[in-house]
Every structure is written in structure tokens, then in C-alpha cells.
Structure 1
Amino acid sequence: MKPPLITLDKVSVKFPNILLFSNLSFTLQQGQNWALAGKSGSGKSVLLQAIASNVGINGGSITYGFMDDVYKAPPTDDLLTFHRFIAFAGARHHFKTLSNTSDFYYQQRYNSSDSENTLTVRQYLQTVKVNQHKPPYWTFDKTIAALNLTELCDKQTIKLSNGETKRLMIAAALLKNPLILLLDNPMTGLDVATRKAFNVLLNEVSASGISIMMATPAFEIPDCITNVAVLDNGAISQSLTKQEFETSGHQSAEKTTVDTAALKQLLNTSAVNHSYKQIVSMRDVHIQYGDKTILNKVNWHINPGERWALLGPNGAGKSTLLSLINGDNPQAYANNIVLFDKKRGTGESIWDIKSKIGFVSPELYQYFPTDNSCLQVIESGFYDTLGLFRPSSKAKADLALNWMKALEIDKYARQLLKNIPASAQRLCLLARALIKNPALLIFDEPCQGLDDHQQQHFKAVVDAICGISTVTLIYVTHYQHEIPDSVDKVLRLDKGEVVS
């Protein structure tokens, strides 16, 4: 009988002053594919990182039993360590510039001269070292076709949409031809059609001899999964077959309540005059990079107090459209765009625009510095800076703490952003968007990485805010159930054009 592919024996993992795991044991057997379920912050991502050796363990041991078969294969010139046979695709990308640095900034994708200094999709995938212990099943052509990247091969990585970036990261992991594939919420950011295709793809990945472990929401477990581990506070509370899990009732979250009186007080504390005739007016907006049209003849008028869903598949142009509103895209000056009653290019600064907007997006999460405390991150929302670069104001810090309480993350107030769970990091950025009570809220896939309770609670908070204020809302998501009940208007994009 073959040994387990991976064995964790009483493993402990610590971050500064935080014990994440203690005496955790787990085995991945031949023929198994595992889903890791549980609340946000329960340890799913850290468990994957520990297996990939991306974080060190402080106690116990991890044994990579699959290496027994690797050593039996014909010798190669490569150094055969277990790292070579494990591929990990996480929540953040690690793209390089042509100068082999990671010096990216948030608005870089919209500045053509700067974005040219990045690898193309083809160049990025060509940096992947393919395992040659046996003839590779996942060749370059097969992999890019499977992840629908063929038409994107000559596009700079920095210009990819969130969903396109996710597909590229998965392709890079697959192209390695690993024995173990570790995926951290792989369907986050993917549109409906791509999620369906990815489910089919995972069946082929498994059939090709690759064992899969993935963190995923309880309602979105792929067909190829055989077993589910439920994590709770850094421990595996249950190990079930997929069938047992599906009949156990784990998929449903409890109803959540919102303290409306506290929200009213928060909004009154930072009351701002929002008297505008029009929030956004776009006429025949056209955005083009080289010979590639991103937006074509887009017309969109948003009145004060309206709540919109902005929908469309990956690469439809949604993020580019939002960049024109948020002041991040210099091509706004070449188009007929009015924001908050002022035509772009008539004297208003980017900071004037940003002062009226609360914004969050996957790209902001990707590039936001993590060395500030959570309170400092949220307080920086008053100044629209990526971090707090001035002395903290007690009144503003108190307000930041109250917003953390409203989003149920106040226990992280004094911790550095980098030392808290990814879901709490995202909620901090949402609090940062809310803190100044802006005239316009732009939430681009705000529920990425949140568990069921966090999603329901945030959705209830948004509906409560819309019920007691005149805030205007633009909400982007690929999941129908995430759209707040207060949203009653839809703009749908496809291939850069308005389709409804």
C-alpha cells in the first residue's frame, strides 16, 4: 500500500503574537481531492500555505510521501525537492516587470507608458519551470486553451482584469505539471461561464493524476472533490466525505442583524453636504490602447441616490469604466464625462473627485500596503491615501473603530493589516471606503474572500446605509445573491459595449 501523499503530524504555525494552528494533523491519500471549508479566519489559507512551505511551521512535521515515487523515476539534471511538485495559486499575484522587479502601483494598468514595462501573458507563462519527471500532460497550448487565455497571450499582465488574472495564476500553477495542486478560493473573481468551465477543467486535472486541495465556500464545491475538511479556529473540526458534507447543512449561514441606530450615528457623525444634480454623466465614451478597444460608445447617467449594479463577464471593461469615474484613468480627459456636476478637464483635481467617492476593488486590495495598523488603514480613507501618512486624529480613529464594530472586525483594530486574515483585510478596506460618508460608493466585487456570514452582514449593512442616507451606489459582482436589495438599476457590459 502506497504511503499518503502528504501527512501533517501535530503541526503548529505562529505569526507574530498569533497562534494560527496547534497540533493539527491531516493526511492526503492517493485518489483524494479535498475542499477546505469553514469561517473566514479559520485557517484554510494558512493550511495551504504551510503545505506549500510558503509559511514556516513552529512545531510538528509535514511529510511529503509522494516523493517516494519521484525518486523511483529516471534521474534528471533537476534538483528534485518537494517544492517542485507542489503548485500554489493564491489570492495575490506576484507579477514581475521586464526589469525583474515587483514595483507595481495601483493605477499602473491605466498608464500606457508604465504598463508596457510588464511581462505579457505569454512571457509570464514561459517563466514557469515545467516538471520533467514524466512527459507533461499540461503543455503550454493545452493549458492556455483550457483557461481561455489564447487571445490574451500578447496582453501585458498588469492590464488583465481581476478574473483574467485569476485564470492566469491557475494556468501557471497547472503548467508546472505538479503532483499536488493547492488553490486558495480559485473561483473568486470568475464570471458565471468561467466558473462552470473551471468545474469541468478540475475534473480533467484530477484525471491527469494531480491531487487537488482547495479553500472554497461551502456552496461552491466542485464535482471533483471527494472529501471536505471543516476548519474552526485553526483546528479541523470535521473530516467528511463530500456526500456527508452536502447533507450536513454546512452550506447555510444564519440570518444576520444590523444595528441601524449605530449606523445612523456613524453617518451623522461624518455628515457631508451631498447636493449634486448629477453624479455621473458619460456620453459616447471610447477607450482604446493601441489597436485594442476597451470601451466603445458607452453612455451612462447616474442621478443622486440611485443604486446601480454594474455587471458583465471577465474582461468586459467594468474596471476600466470605474477607473474613469474614480479619477484613476487619464483617458477620462479625452472623453465627454461629467462627475459631480463638473466636466472632466475643467479644473477639478483627482483628489477633488476622490474626496467624494468611497471605493474598494480587488486591485486596491492587491496593491494596498499592509504595514499600517487596521485603524490607520481605515483612517486613511479620510485622505484617500494608501496608508496613513500623518499623525492620527483621535476623533477620526474613534470613528474608524466604530466602523470596525459595525463590520464586526474591531478585535483587529490595533493589529497590522498584514497579520490578520485576508477576509478581515478586505473588510478593513470596506470600512475605509465608508468612513468619510461619501456621496458615491463604488464597490467592485466587495465580497471576495468573505465567508457566508460576512457576506450577508455586509450586504445588510449596505442596505441599511442606503435606507437611511442618500448615498449613490455602484456595485459590481459575478454572484447574483451578493447584490444588495437596495440595488434597482443595472448596466451590463460585454466586450466594452453596453448590452442592457
Structure 2
Amino acid sequence: MRPPRSLPPIVNITNGTFYRTFPGSSSLHPNPPLFTNLNFSIPAAVDPPTNWYVVGPSLSGKTTFLNLLRGRLFCDPTRARSFTYHPNGEDANKPESRPSRLPDQMIQYVGFNGGDALGGGPTAAAYLAARYESKREITDFSLRDFLLGNTELNALEKRDQPGDAAHFERVVRDLRLTPLMELPVTSLSNGQGRRARIARALLNKPEVLLLDEPFMGLDPPTVAGLSPLLREMAAAASPRLVLTARPQDPVPEWITHLLYLRADCQVGAMGRKEEVLDQLRAYVKGVSSGAAKEDNKMAVHNLVHVGKVLTAKGISGKTLMEEVEPETAESTSFQENEPRKSLGEPLVEMDGCRVAYNDKVVLGNWKQEADGQEKDGLVWTVRRGERWGIFGPNGSGKTTILSLICSDHPQTYSLPIRLFGRSRLPEPGLGKLPLTIWDIQSRIGHSSPEIHQLMPRSLTVRQVLENAWADTFRSKAKLDSQSGKKVDAVLRWFEAELNPSFTAAAASASSSSSSGSSSRDLKWADHYMFGELSFSAQRIALFLRATIKNPDIVVLDEACSGMDDGVRNKCLLFLEHGERRAYVTRDDGSEAVVESEVARRGEVQVGGLTDEQALICISHVREEIPGCVREWVCLPEANTGEAARFGRSRAPLGRDEKGWMEIWGMEGGA
């Protein structure tokens, strides 16, 4: 009997260079070479397991890398990339028994970018209020239908049972989806929806599972619950895992190999996890000490946050900056106990809000004391000039609160809520007309995963920003001359992030050939559509849409999720100061905030938040919380009976780990 021969890799790439379209073909869009001369493979062997973590800043090509692994990009030469299917436990001496399988079947991709509905196609909500309504449409498929693939309105046949019942039950049980099987997929929480997507992919029994930023936007408890499930798959190599992440995201302890991407869709470092971390550590140390020159495609400010480890007990370890320059990392100072500003008039007044669907209470299942009285439900007031953060685990009701404020939730009419000093219903004897949905939406700027899902992909970049002055996603914006100037100013300020064909050289040439940066050509904003932008750029456009017209209330629900540190910091600085402040890089590589050139020229069109505005934000990542946020409310886990907790942070939460841990009722921090 012959000994078993070694099996070829499932995916093997040898000196391959990739393109979005066929090289040399005519196209209006740039088609540069990606991942030049790439060598990469996913072995068939399950012992030892091989699981990859692809890390990189925005626009570095993380999703593009996953797409080339599944055969979605053109490979040059074509033979440089190959796929081989190996069913687990096959007899290597009987290759004729090996079933044929396409890459799309053996390699499953699962994205969590919020740009597409859970089920895709008809399962997508048609409008924001749809997920909160009690009436169910024929398109509101259950989770069971979603997992079985019954999501077509005119399907030729409908599956009532899975082909492999034992495998189906095991996947549903392992991903803790059993109690949710009859719920509409549109009603699932963020964490539940992610587990459902992973389950649907696993039901196809893939050899390789590609997960695009699976931890993005999840609260710490949900991350702690999802990581062990992935660790069990990784340990068994069934399937093999390839995950993407931002530089600031912790690396799961079970990851074996790391790939760090440069900012130009090229590989910066690749190999076993510890070896790559050592390379990056040496690079950061060399640049920090002046012994090495910084590569502008591998910015140190992105790398310094790499290094944290995600374990079964939480996040531990130190970042590269904390290892290389511990004194600098620990010496960050900030002004504590910032004095309160004088309170303005109330913009949102909730006087005991309790939201329930039949017997299920999703918000306000507690008693709260206010003005010496005990009331059922949430009691909360937001005034002009206040900056609020809403925190709590997934499913605690954070997005429900925002749906009440934005009047997307049908129960807004029946609850004790006043917006801008008025009710949604007529008030007898007061001579005030009820607020309409148009009144409310015109005074609120809103960015969220739901807005991202519903924003038409066919709008141009300019139209997305102008949509801040429109009644609906598709209606014509009502712009005046000042509004147009604001749109142009924002497009110039964020051209590097929003223009897919942006190059620093071209921008410099355009600026130098005109009388000033305000004359820079903005035709690209009328050419590129929202759907053509990267996920990060789409989030930036929606962030700017929510803030550009200085609405009375700015609502940011996970608005910075998916952005890397540099882009996120630029957005948060713009939120507070508009064009008045900008980041500059000092000679030693550190960053500082200074008065901008636009401010010095007196050409500011967008000035940032004012004392007449209120800010309400939701985030599970403290670095994504604007530095101006001080007031906070932390919601309890659903149906525990515990009351919401209120407080005021002593410092910007992005730099105050101790304050952040206290909000979540956890120990630790500095």
C-alpha cells in the first residue's frame, strides 16, 4: 500500500499580480496592479491549523484581498492562481473519488459592512421604520427561511428541510441561533445577524471561510462570545479561517498567521504571527528613534495600535507604541472635569418611555426616579449644547432610542416624547400643530448602519452630501448658494478619502495651477457613484451628510465603524471644528492639531458643532467617541430589570480607559 501523498493547497498563488479589470482594457476608472508578485497559499493540511488575519488601514485592500482568494479579480499570469478541493478525510490514493467543486462553493465570503441586507434581495427593509412594525410582509422571511435559502418571492421550489439535518442542527446550535429561528431576519440585532450570516456560510460546508471585519461594531460582551466560536472552528480547521481587521483591532490569540497591508494594496509584511509582529515592532522602533525612514505607504500612526490580543477573558497585551515608547504612550494628558456649559432649551424629552412588542419589552423595562417621582421606563432629556453617548450591550435598545428620536419607530406617537418642544400628536388648548416627519428629519442629521443599507448606490458622491437637504433619499435637494459652498468645501477637505482616483501629486498640481485650493477641480464628485466607493469612504460620506448642514441634533450610530485611526480622527476633528482645525505631522512623526490654512485665509464654510446643536452618539469602541462627549447613559442588558445608569465622564473617553471601563461596570484601566 502506497503511503498517502501530500495534498496540494486549497488556494495557491505563485508570483501573481491582480487587476480589477483586464489589464490594458479601456476603462474610465484607474486599474493599477494590486498585490504585485504575490505568493500566498492556504494549505490542505489541518494539522497544524493555519488561520490568517489580514490587517490594514482604510483603502489598503482588505476586502479586495479576500475577493482575489475567491477568484473575483483577474490574475496575471492566469496560471499563477489555482484552486484544489479536498473533502475532509478523503483517500489521497483515490483522486478519482474526489468530487468537483467550484471556488464559490468551497470558499465562502461573509461581509459585515452594513451595505447589504441580511438576506439580500427582497429581504432588505424598504424603509427605516420597517424593522419596528408589527405587521409582517411576505418579504419578512424568518431566520429558518434565510438559512434554508427560501428568500425568493417566486421560487420554483421551497425547501422545508435541510439536506443534511444533523449538520444543520449542529450549526444552528453552535452559533446559538435556536431560539431565533422563527423571528424575521430584519428584526435580528447586529450580533445575531452576524451569527446568522456565518451559519448560512457554514451550511455550505466550505473548506475556507472568509470573514470581512467580523468584530466591527460589536460590543465587548458580544465580541467575547463570537471569538470562542471562531476559535473552535480554527482549532479544527473546519473550515480554515481568513479574517480581516483594522490596525487598532486586537488579534485573536488563535490566529496563526498575519498579513499586514500597505496603503497601496500591496503586502507590507506576511508570515507567522509572531514573526510579523517582530518585523512591525522593529519598523516602529526604527522610525521612532530616527534610525529608519518612514515609508509613506506604511504610516507609523496606523501601526502603533497593533499588538493587543483578544483572549477568552477579554483584551490584553500592549500595543507596539506601548512596547516601543512606554513613557510616551502613558503620558497622554487631557483636561479633566471640563466645566459644564450653560444648558439650552430641551430638544428631546422622554418622560417614561417603555417600548414593547406584545409581551417582549425591548426598552425601558425598569423603574427610574426623576424629580422625586418613580416612573416606568426611560426618563431622559437632551438640551442644546449637550454631547451625549449612549452605551450598552447589543440588543439593549440603543438603536431603538434613536428610532424614537428620529420618529422612525411607530410607537413614537403613543409614548410620552416631546421633540423640539412639541408632541407628535395635536395638543389641545396649546394652539400648536403636531410635528410632521418632515419637520423632524429636516432638523436631525443621522448616520447609522441602517442609513448605510438604504442609501441608493446610484447617487454620486456630491448627491449623497446634498441629500442632507432633501426630504427622502431619492428626492431633489433644496439647496441655496450657501449650501452649495458647504458641499464644495467638504468635498475639497475630504478629497483624499472620497475620491477613488486621488493622488497627492495630482492634488498638488491642481492647487498650484489655480489661485487657491478652493478652485480645485471637483468633477470627480459628479463622476463617482456611492456604490463605487470603498466601505470606509461610504461611511465617511454618510458621516459628512449627517453633519454638513449643522442640524439641531446630530445622531451618530456607529458612524466611524470601519474607518482606520487616521481617517476616524480626521472625521471627529471635523465634527467639532469643521475646517478651522487640521492635523499636521511634526518632524518626529507625531501629529498635532493646528489652525488650518483655510481658517488663516478666512475661507471657512463649515465651522463644526455649535452650542445650539446637540450631539448623540453610539459606539462600542471608545476611540470612536468624539472628544466633546461628556454626558452618558448606559442601558442594561435586555429584560434584566436593572435601570439605565447616567453619568458624566471626567475626560474625553477616547483617551480615558478608566472612565470607559467604569461606564461598562468593569474593572481595569489606568
Quick one: structure 1 residues 94 and 335, their matched pair in 2 at CA, closer, same or farther if it must change by over 3 Å? closer
What is the number of residues matched between the two proteins? 474
Unmatched tracts of structure 1, length 5 or more? 130-134, 256-274
Match of 2:10 among 5, 8, 12: 5
Deviates most, 164-173 or 423-432: 164-173
431-440 vs 17-26, which deviates more?
17-26
TM-score (norm 2): 0.65
TM-score (norm 1): 0.85
Q: Give the equivalent residue in structure 1 for 2:68.
A: 50
C-alpha deviation, 1:452, in angstroms: 1.7
> Which residue of 2 is the match for residue 327 of structure 1?
407
1:85 maps to 2:106:
yes
Task: Pick the aligned partner of 1:226 from 256, 261, 264.
Answer: 256
Give 1:352 shift: 0.3
**Which residue of 230, 244, 268 corresponds with 1:215?**
244
> Do the aligned residues in 1 keep the contact of 2:443 with 2:551 (CA within 8 Å)?
yes
- Decide whether aligned partners of structure 1 residues 190 and 21 sit closer, same or farther in structure 2, where only a CA change above 3 A counts: farther
Aligned residue identity for 1:213: V
397-406 or 482-491: which moved more? 397-406
Cα distance in 2 for partners of 1:121, 1:149 equals 9
Determine if contact 1:121/1:152 at 8 Å carries over to the other structure. yes
Alpha-carbon distance in structure 2 between the residues aligned to 1:295 and 1:65: 49
How far does residue 421 in structure 1 lie from its aligned partner after superposition?
A: 1.0
* Alignment correspondent of 1:459: 572
Alignment partner of 1:112: what SS?
coil
Report what 1:495 is aligned to.
638
User: Could you tell me how far apart the structure 2 residues matched to 1:13 and 1:454 are?
Assistant: 24
**1:96–1:118 CA contact under 8 A, matched in 2:** no
Aligned partners of 1:120 and 1:156 also within 8 Å:
yes
> Which residue in the other structure is 2:304 paired with?
252
Which structure 2 residues correspond to residues 18-97 of structure 1 after superposition, within 5 A?
18-19=30-31, 21-22=33-34, 23=36, 25-30=38-43, 31-53=49-71, 55-57=72-74, 59-61=76-78, 63-67=81-85, 80-90=101-111, 91=113, 92-96=115-119
Residue 344 of structure 1: aligned partner? 424
The one-letter code of the counterpart of 1:226 is T
Residues 47-446 of structure 1: matches in 2 within 5 Å?
A: 47-53=65-71, 55-57=72-74, 59-61=76-78, 63-67=81-85, 80-90=101-111, 91=113, 92-96=115-119, 104-114=126-136, 117-127=139-149, 139-209=167-237, 210-218=239-247, 219-232=249-262, 233-247=264-278, 248-249=280-281, 251-252=303-304, 277-296=345-364, 297-346=377-426, 347-387=434-474, 389=476, 395-407=482-494, 409=497, 411=499, 413-414=525-526, 415-446=528-559
- Relative to structure 1, is the Cα distance of residues 45 and 155 closer, same or farther in structure 2, using a 3 angstrom cutoff? same
Judged with a 3 Å threshold, the aligned counterparts in structure 2 of structure 1 residues 137 and 156 are, in CA distance, closer, same or farther, namely closer
Distance 1:68 1:139, change over 3 A: closer
Q: For 1:50, give the aligned amino acid.
A: L
Identify if the C-alpha distance between structure 1 residues 32 and 336 changes in structure 2 by more than 3 Å, giving closer, same or farther. Answer: same
The Cα offsets for residues 141-184 of structure 1, whole Å up to 9 and x where unpaired, read as 43334333333222211112233222221222233321101011
> Is the 1:161–1:319 Cα contact (8 Å) retained in structure 2?
no
Q: Which residue of 1 aligns with 2:666?
A: none
Report the CA distance shift for 1:116/1:65 in structure 2 as closer, same or farther (over 3 A). closer
Give yes or no for contact 1:283–1:337 (8 Å, CA) kept in 2.
yes
Partners of 2:351 and 2:380 within 8 A in 1 = yes
Shift of 1:306: 1.0
Whole-Å separation in 2 of the counterparts to 1:138 and 1:51:
30
CA distance in 1, matches of 2:81, 2:259: 19
Pairwise CA distance, 1:11: 2.2
Q: Which runs of 5+ in 2 are unaligned?
A: 1-5, 22-26, 44-48, 152-162, 282-301, 306-320, 322-327, 329-342, 365-376, 427-433, 501-524, 579-607, 646-670
Maintained 8 Å contact 1:35/1:228: yes
Contact 2:469/2:478 (8 A) holds in 1: no
Within 2, Cα distance between the matches of 1:116 and 1:301?
Answer: 38
The CA deviation at 1:437 is: 0.5
Q: Which residue identity is paired with 1:240? A: G
Relative contact order, CA 8 A, sep 6+: which one is greater? 1
Instruction: Tell me, in whole angstroms, the C-alpha distance in 1 between the residues paired with 2:356 and 2:99.
Output: 45
Residue 341 (structure 1) shift: 0.6
Relative to structure 2, which stretch is displaced further, 113-122 or 307-316? 113-122
1:78/1:484 CA distance change after superposition, 3 Å: same
Distance in 2 of aligned mates of 1:360 and 1:111: 21
Q: Aligned match of 1:476 in 618, 621, 626?
A: 618
Instruction: Give the C-alpha shift of residue 394 in structure 1.
Output: 6.2
Partner of 1:263: none
Supply the distance in 1 between the matched residues of 2:165 and 2:258 (Cα, whole angstroms). Answer: 27
Task: Give the C-alpha shift of residue 489 in structure 1.
Answer: 1.3
The 1-side partners of 2:390 and 2:42 are apart by 43
Contact preservation (8 Å) 1:12, 1:24: no
Which amino acid in structure 1 is aligned with residue 623 of structure 2?
H
3-state SS of 1:335 partner: coil
Moved more, 416-425 or 229-238: 229-238
1:256-314 residue CA offsets vs partner (Å, 9 max, x unmatched): xxxxxxxxxxxxxxxxxxx9721111122122223322223122111211111111111
Choose 56-65 or 301-310, whichever is displaced more: 56-65
Instruction: Give the RMSD, CA atoms, in angstroms.
Output: 3.2
Distance 1:457 1:399, change over 3 A: same
Deviations 1:222-270 (A, max 9, x none): 2222222222312223213211333424642699xxxxxxxxxxxxxxx
Shift of the alpha carbon at 1:80? Answer: 2.6
CA contact (8 A) 2:344 2:385 kept: no
CA separation of 1:96 and 1:198: change in aligned 2, threshold 3 A = closer
